[in-house]
Structure 1
Amino acid sequence: MQTEAELREIVREPSQGIWDKDIARIDEHARTIIAHSPFVLLATANPDGTCDVSPRGDPAGSVLVLDDHRLAIADRPGNHRLDSLRNVLHHPGVGLLFLVPGMNETLRVNGRGTLVSEAPFFDDLTVQGKRPRLALLVEVEELYMHCSKAFLRSSLWSPETWPDRGALPTLGRIAKDHLGLKDVSAEVIDEGLALDAETNRY
């Protein structure tokens, strides 16, 4: 398949209301959802089109709505790869997907990202006494709700559908195998990762 016309032979055009749901601004409903969301997915791409999606988590209400067209997300300590932030430097287009636990609908935001190392709102991004060194400022160009079908199909919020955690490998086991580490056990890696997650999250 090479063209949109070929695609539309399989999937019909949506109703006009589906196109019109994009309000391109942060209204009162979007503000409420953002205020209750502790988890947002950040999508970016570098100039050659390579894409990246990064999870961002903070206490609900930590993403700041600055006005009807701008929001700010703190950058917290991570693995120092800076995949998302490096992408924004070269290609400012970003996509955000806000999740609220137990809510099957999601809020989608697309816009232009800018990195800032200081601004008056940085004090408001402080969590557990830790002020971020960087923040992502997003100028909203598209904003709309996404329906519940994906969450209903996946039963994501239904604990009875969740796999037994013991059936899945730990991150230490995965890291040991992926990196070919022979002189350290998965258990020791897991202990180090758990300590870092507990002491270096902000």
Structure 2
Amino acid sequence: MDPLSARVATPDALEALIGRPSERTRHKVRTELTDADLRWLAASPFCVLATSDADGRCDASPKGDPAGSLVHVIDRRTVAIAERPGNRRVDGYHNILANPHVGMIFLVPGRSDTLRVNGRAQLVSDAPWFDRLTVRGSRPVLAAVVQVEEVFGHCAKSLVRSGIWHPDGWAPEAVDGPGSSRASRSLDEFIRETESEQVAGYSSGLY
């Protein structure tokens, strides 16, 4: 069977399958951060930053810092996220240089609802508020500043379905690290070696 024989190709066809959102859902999008949004951002230690280049090729990059340090709120329509040491690919930042439109989703551990923020980003190498982004004595050399265009809460159903916050469903030992190769080593040997390398690298290279 052709996997695309039942392709959905129009907005009308999509709506016929999924239905229409409620009035409340359609009108929940805001253009600036509320007090509740600010509290959520202050409690969030993790987000995913989605970008695309000029041709529409996409990237989604995880961003993490201690809660209270992940996001610097410049004002209710402007937020900043610091760049921390990584693998230097900076795919998302290359995308921002070509196409400023970004989307972010902020998680709070133990909470199944999320906060989504969409807007336009630019990169800056310094600003008066960079000192506030310092973590463990490390001041960032780059930050993404996002002009907020849309902000709204996202319902909890996807995270509830995933059971992501329930430890009894966790099985980190069941998979290799992304992009890794165990070759002929046993899984236990691979995990011990990988964890040892990560601990050594992460203990000195997080910031």
CA contact (8 A) 1:64 1:72 kept: yes
Q: Which residue of 93, 96, 100 maps to 2:104?
A: 96
CA separation in 2, counterparts of 1:169 and 1:69? 40
- Using the alignment, how far apart are the partners of 2:173 and 2:82 within structure 1? 33
Q: Does 1:12 align with 2:19?
A: yes
Matches within 5 A, 1:137-152: 137-152=145-160
SS at match of 1:192: helix
Aligned to 1:42: 49
Which residue identity does 2:78 align to in structure 1? R
The answer on whether the counterparts of 1:170 and 1:190 sit within 8 Å (CA) in structure 2 is: no
Match of 1:33 among 24, 40, 55: 40
**Structure 1 letter corresponding to 2:198:** L
> Which residue does 2:186 correspond to in 1?
none
Instruction: Choose from 162, 166, 169 the match for 1:158.
Output: 166
| Uncovered stretches (5+) of structure 2, i.e. residues with no partner | 1-7, 184-188
Q: TM-score, normalised by structure 1?
A: 0.90
Given the superposition, is the C-alpha separation of residues 188 and 162 from structure 1 closer, same or farther in structure 2, using an over 3 Å criterion? closer
User: In structure 1, how many angstroms separate the alpha carbons of the residues matched to 2:137 and 2:62?
Assistant: 22
Q: Which runs of 4+ in 1 moved over 4 A?
A: 185-190
What is residue 197 of structure 2 aligned with on the other side? 192
SS state at 1:25 partner:
coil
Give how far 1:175 is off.
2.6
What SS does the corresponding residue of 1:175 show, helix, strand or coil? Answer: coil
State the distance in 1 between where 2:153 and 2:66 align: 22
Q: C-alpha distance in 2, partners of 1:54/1:43?
A: 6
How many aligned residue pairs are there? 193
Match of 1:86 in 2: 94
- Structure 1 residue runs of 5 or longer lacking an equivalent are 179-184
Deviations 1:28-52 (A, max 9, x none): 0000000000001100011111111
Tell me whether 1:167 sits opposite 2:167 in the alignment: no
**1:68 matches 2:76:** yes
How far apart are the structure 1 equivalents of 2:204 and 2:37?
A: 32
C-alpha distance in 1, partners of 2:173/2:57? Answer: 34
Which stretch of the first structure deviates more once superposed, 139-148 or 9-18? 9-18
Displacement of 1:69 in angstroms is 0.0
- Determine if contact 1:118/1:134 at 8 Å carries over to the other structure: yes
Paired residue type of 2:206: R
Q: Once the two structures are superposed, what CA deviation does each residue of 1:173-197 show, in whole Å capped at 9, x if it has no partner? A: x43469xxxxxx9565653333222
2:138 equivalent to 1:133: no
1:181 match: none
Q: Distance in 2 between matches of 1:144 and 1:15?
A: 15
User: After superposition, what is the alpha-carbon deviation per residue over 1:103-151, rounded to whole angstroms, capped at 9, x for unaligned?
Assistant: 1100000000000001011000000000000000000000000011011
TM-score, normalization by structure 2: 0.88
Matches of 1:198 and 1:78 in 2, distance apart? 13
Name the residue aligned to 1:111: 119
